[in-house]
Amino acid sequence: MLKRNLLVFYFAAIVVLFFIFSFSAVGIFFEDYGWHDQQRILQVLFIIGCVIGVFFIRAKKFSFFYFSTISIFFSCGLISIFLSDFIWWSVKEWAVFLGLVFVVYTSSFVFESEEKVFYVFLLAGFIALCLALKFLIFYMSAIVSGIGDFSAEVLQPGFDNPRFLGQFQLVAIPASMYLVSYFWDSHQRILMLTFLVVLIVHWLLSIVLGGRGVWLALFLSNVAFSFFSSFRKYIFIQFFSLFVSAILFWFLFRFIPSLVGFNSFIFSGARTGLSSRELLWDRALDMFLESPWFGIGPMQFSAVYNSVAAHPHQIFLQIAAEWGGVALLMFVLTVFWGARDCIFFLKKRRAVNSDFVVVFILLNLFLLAQLDGVFVMPYVQTWFALFVGVILGRSSYGNGPQRQGLLACYFPVFLILILSSILFFDVPRLVEMENFYLHTTGGVWAPRFWFQGWIGL
C-alpha cells in the first residue's frame, strides 16, 4: 500500500513538474531571467525528478542493444570530458544528455497508455493555443498602438529567438492536427474548431517566421508518412490549414499594412544560402579531424568564438566534433535501430493514431536537427526525450532481460549531484555572468547551455 501511494505521489509530481516546465514558453516565472535560461532551469528540475523515479518505478527496460550503445556513448563522453579545456562545462552537457535518457526511461512508465498520451497532446495543444493567442494579441497591439511593427522578432512569443519557436512548432502543429481529428471523431465541434484555429495560426506564424528548416522537415515527414493510409487524413488537415493560413498571411501582412501605411518585415522563406551554417560545419569538421576518437569535449565547440553561433547546427557534426567518432557511431546505430523499431511498431495493428503522430513529431525534430540546434535547446530537447519515452512505453521494443544495475543504482546519485550543483552554483550568479559578458565584450547573444552560450569568455 505504501509503495502504491509513493507511485501515485511520484506520478503526480512528475506531471506537475512537466506541466510547469511546459508553461515556461508561455510566461516568465523568474523575473531576472530570459526565456532560454528559464527553460533550462526548469528542464534541470524536471530531469532531477525523472532521475529520482528510477529508484522505485519499474519502467520498460532498454534492450541489450540500446543499453550497450547508450552505455558506450556516455563512456566515450566521460573520456572526452577529461580531454576538454573546460571540464565543468563538459560535465554539465554530459549530465543533461544523460538526464534526458532518464526522462525517456521515466516517461515510458508515466505515459505508456493511449489515454495518457492524449493528455500529453492536449498539454502541447494548450501551449500552442496560448502562443497563438499571444501572437494575435501582439499583432492587434501593433495596429491599435500605431507602432506598426510587424517584425517577426516582435510578434513571436515565448522564446528568445524565432528559430526556437519554430522548433516547438514541430510539436505544436502535429499536436493540434491530432486534436482536430480527435475532437471531430468524438463530435466535440467547439473543441475541434478551437484547435483548427490554433493549427491555422501556427501555420501562419510559421510563414511569418520564414523557417525553411521547419517547412522542409514537415514536408519530408509528410511524404514519409503518406505511405501509411491511417495518416493521410492528418496530411489533408495540414494542407487545408496551410491553405487558409496563406490567405490570412496575405491579408494580415500584406493588405492591412499597406492599407494603414505600415511596413512589415517578414523573413523570406524563399531566400537561398545556408545562413553561414557552412562556416559552422567546416569548423566542426576541423575539430573532429583534430581529435577523431573522443572529440574535443561536450560543449567545447562553444569555447572557440566565432561570429555565427555557439553550436554547429547539425547533430551528427556536433557529436563528432565534441564527443568523437566512437560516440558518433553509437549514436548512428541507436538512431538507425530506433527508426527500424518504430517502423515495425507502426506496421502492427495495435498501433493507434496517437502512435503515428508521436513518431511523426520525432521525425520532424530529428530532420530539423540536421540544420538547427534542436538537441541543444532545453525546451524542445525535453519534449523530444519525452516523446521517445512515450513510444518506448507504447511499444515492446524497449524490453530487456538485464538488471541494468549501474544505470539504476549508481549513476542516478552522481547525476543528481551534478544537476543540483547547476541550480545551486550556476543559477544564482547567472545574471551577473551574462551582464559581465555583455559589457566587457560587446558581443551578441549566442544561446547554448545558457542564453550566453560562449564558455571561457
More confident residue, 362 or 207: 362
Q: What are phi and psi of 452, to 5 degrees?
A: -90, 100
More confident residue, 378 or 258: 378
- pLDDT of residue 349 exceeding 70, the answer is no
Asked if residue 87 belongs to a domain, the reply is yes
pLDDT digits (tens, 9 = 90+) for 120-167: 999 999 999 999 998 888 888 877 776 666 666 666 666 767 788 889
Calculate what percentage of the chain has a pLDDT beyond 70.
87
Encode 390-413: b = buried (16+ Cβ within 10 Å), e = exposed: bbbbbbebbebeeebeebeeebbe
* pLDDT value for 403: 45
> Residue range 340-367: average pLDDT?
89
> Cα dihedral sign for 396, 397, 400, 406?
negative
* pLDDT value for 59: 55
> Residue range 429-447: average pLDDT?
74
Asked if residue 260 belongs to a domain, the reply is yes
- pLDDT of residue 261 exceeding 80, the answer is no
Mean pLDDT of the chain: 85
Domain that holds residue 303: 2-268+282-288+290-441
How far, in Å, CA of 107 to CA of 15, rounded? 10
Asked if residue 346 belongs to a domain, the reply is yes
How far, in Å, CA of 162 to CA of 156, rounded? 6
Tell me which residue has cell 495560426.
201
- pLDDT of residue 347 exceeding 70, the answer is yes
> Cα dihedral sign for 340, 345, 347, 353?
negative
Binned at pLDDT 50, 70 and 90, residue 101 comes out as very high
Q: What are phi and psi of 446, to 5 degrees?
A: -140, 85
- pLDDT of residue 275 exceeding 90, the answer is no
Asked if residue 167 belongs to a domain, the reply is yes
Query: How far is the CA of 287 from the CAs of 292, 312, 328, in angstroms?
Result: 8, 11, 14
Asked if residue 106 belongs to a domain, the reply is yes
Asked if residue 401 belongs to a domain, the reply is yes
Which cell numbers in the block locate residue 206? 510559421
- pLDDT of residue 280 exceeding 60, the answer is yes
| Residues in Cβ contact with 247 at an 8 Å cutoff, skipping those fewer than 6 apart | none
- pLDDT of residue 407 exceeding 60, the answer is no
Tell me which residue has cell 497591439.
141
Asked if residue 338 belongs to a domain, the reply is yes
Which cell numbers in the block locate residue 10? 511520484
* pLDDT value for 13: 86
Which cell numbers in the block locate residue 457? 569568455
* pLDDT value for 201: 94
Binned at pLDDT 50, 70 and 90, residue 401 comes out as very low
> Residue range 101-107: average pLDDT?
90
Show the DSSP H helices in 84-113 as ranges: 87-110
Give the 3-state secondary structure of residue 310. Answer: coil
Residue 46 amino acid letter: F
Prediction pTM value: 0.93
> Residue range 347-357: average pLDDT?
84
Asked if residue 147 belongs to a domain, the reply is yes
> Residue range 22-44: average pLDDT?
86
- pLDDT of residue 406 exceeding 50, the answer is no
Domain count within the chain = 1
- pLDDT of residue 272 exceeding 90, the answer is no
Please report how the helices 277-290 and 315-322 are oriented relative to each other, as an axis angle in degrees rounded to 10: 30
